[in-house]
Amino acid sequence: MPNICILFSPAKRAYDFEILSAGLTSSDEEKVNTSIQVNRISFSESVFSARVNWNCDTDEKSTAKVLIWHCRNGRESDYTLTPYQIPNQGLKTFVDTYYHDMLYLNVANCSNLPPYVDLSDLKKEYIFDNCPLTGDGFPYYLPMGYYKFYQEIKAEVTLTISFLIKVTPTKSLG
């Protein structure tokens, strides 16, 4: 009888993460007004609430990118850029490629974001109410430590979104 090796492949992430801080900034608060806060719900769980009142147009020159840095110990000087990033690209390409599977699925149950985005009809207030990041669209495995997520959307206004996340081994892998 031949030797058969079966590798365990979990159906979910092998880590938990906690939102430590978050930021939203707009280059013009008259056109894109923002607010965000992180709320701790237990010792190792946190959620975020935010409002983005988007009142500007996008066009073919509008762009988006995501950068992610990692360090094991949380020291500012030890962060290095990871390969988990989305290079600067047209906003339409970004939305068509990443929006639904990475952003929307993470906040579908706690926001008024639509499942699919029409870039010609963005002008409205977007509300995120006590959103835990679900990890949908994230890799199954990540090195433990701290991550800085930075997203920039450039249209008439530049909007930046940032999160500081702590990644630890999952407590519920079984």
**pLDDT of res. 17:** 86
**pLDDT of res. 46:** 94
CATH code of the domain covering residue 134 = 2.70.220
User: What residues have CB less than 8 Å from 123, skipping those under 6 apart?
Assistant: 54, 55, 56, 57
Is 5 domain-assigned?
no
For residue 113, the enclosing domain spans: 15-169
Is 165 domain-assigned?
yes
Is 7 domain-assigned?
no
How would residue 21 be classed by pLDDT, with cut points 50, 70 and 90?
A: very high
Tokens of 133: 């990041």
Kindly write down the DSSP assignment for every residue of 80-117, as one continuous string. Answer: EE-S--EEEEEHHHHIIIIIIIIIIHHHTTTB---SS-
Cα dihedral 7, 14, 99, 131, rounded to 10, equals 150
Q: For residue 98, report the phi and psi dihedrals to the nearest 5 degrees.
A: -120, -25
In angstroms, the CA 149 to CA 165 distance is: 8
Is 159 domain-assigned?
yes
In angstroms, the CA 20 to CA 32 distance is: 24
How would residue 172 be classed by pLDDT, with cut points 50, 70 and 90?
A: low
How would residue 11 be classed by pLDDT, with cut points 50, 70 and 90?
A: low
In angstroms, the CA 107 to CA 113 distance is: 8
Is 109 domain-assigned?
yes
pLDDT single digits (tens) 59-76:
999 999 999 999 999 999
Q: What is the pTM of this model?
A: 0.86
Does the pLDDT of residue 174 top 80, yes or no?
Answer: no
Q: Are the C-beta atoms of residues 49 and 131 closer than 8 Å to each other?
A: yes
How would residue 58 be classed by pLDDT, with cut points 50, 70 and 90?
A: very high
Is 102 domain-assigned?
yes
Is 1 domain-assigned?
no
Q: For residue 107, report the phi and psi dihedrals to the nearest 5 degrees.
A: -125, 15
Is 8 domain-assigned?
no
Count up the domains in the chain and report the number: 1
